[in-house]
A = this chain, B = another copy of it.
Amino acid sequence: MQEKKLSLLRFCYNHMMQDMIGPQGVSREEIVIMESRVAKAAKSLEDKRGEMAWRDLPYSQDDVVEDIIKTASDINNNFDHFVLLGIGGSALGPLAVHRAMKPTYYNELSKEDRKGPKMFVEDNIDPDRIKSLLDVLDIKRTVFCVISKSGATAETMAQTMIISQMLKETYYGDIGKHFIMITDQEKGNLNIIAKKENCKTFHIPRGVGGRFSQLSSVGLLPAAVCGIDIKMLLKGAAAMDKQCASEDVWKNPAGMGALLQVQYMKKGRNISVMMPYIDGFRYIADWYAQLWAESLGKRIDNDGYVVFSGQTPVKSLGVTDQHSQLQLYVEGPHDKVITFIRTDKFRNDFTIPNAYPEIDDISFLGGHTLSELINVEQESTEFALYKAGRPSQTIYLPEISEYTLGQLLYFFELETAFVGELLNINAFDQPGVEESKNAAYAVLGKAGFEEKRKELSEKEKLNKLLQF
Whether the pair A128, B152 counts as a contact (CB closer than 8 A) is: no
Whether the pair B13, A467 counts as a contact (CB closer than 8 A) is: yes
- Confirm or deny: A304 has a beta carbon within 8 angstroms of a beta carbon on chain B: no
Beyond contacts A89-B324, A125-B370, A270-B335: 11 other A-B pairs, Cβ-Cβ < 8 A, are A89-B323, A103-B128, A103-B131, A124-B317, A165-B355, A193-B359, A210-B323, A293-B325, A297-B331, A299-B331, A380-B440
Given A279-B124, A293-B325, A355-B165: A135 and B155 interface contact (C-beta under 8 Å): no
Residue on B nearest A13 in the bound complex, by CB:
B466
Residue on B nearest A383 in the bound complex, by CB:
B439
How long is the Cα–Cα vector from A297 to B334 in the complex, in angstroms? 11
Chain B neighbourhood of A322, CB < 8 A: 88, 433, 436
- Confirm or deny: A231 has a beta carbon within 8 angstroms of a beta carbon on chain B: no
Chain B neighbourhood of A131, CB < 8 A: 103, 347-348, 350
How long is the Cα–Cα vector from A55 to B34 in the complex, in angstroms? 54
- Confirm or deny: A189 has a beta carbon within 8 angstroms of a beta carbon on chain B: yes
Whether the pair A384, B193 counts as a contact (CB closer than 8 A) is: no
Chain B neighbourhood of A350, CB < 8 A: 127, 130-131, 162
A interface residue count range (under 10 / 10 to 19 / 20 to 34 / 35 or more): 35 or more
Whether the pair B352, A333 counts as a contact (CB closer than 8 A) is: no
Pick 9 A–B contacts, CB within 8 A, sort by A. A14-B464, A88-B320, A155-B319, A158-B370, A270-B270, A296-B328, A314-B314, A331-B432, A387-B435
How long is the Cα–Cα vector from A13 to B466 in the complex, in angstroms? 6
Whether the pair B308, A384 counts as a contact (CB closer than 8 A) is: no
Which of A126, A130, A165, A441 neighbours the largest number of chain B CB atoms within 10 Å of its CB?
A126
- Confirm or deny: A463 has a beta carbon within 8 angstroms of a beta carbon on chain B: yes
Whether the pair B294, A328 counts as a contact (CB closer than 8 A) is: yes
Given A17-B464, A108-B107, A360-B447: A349 and B127 interface contact (C-beta under 8 Å): yes
Given A88-B324, A346-B127: A332 and B319 interface contact (C-beta under 8 Å): no
Given A161-B353, A279-B126, A464-B14: A365 and B444 interface contact (C-beta under 8 Å): yes
How long is the Cα–Cα vector from A297 to B165 in the complex, in angstroms? 51
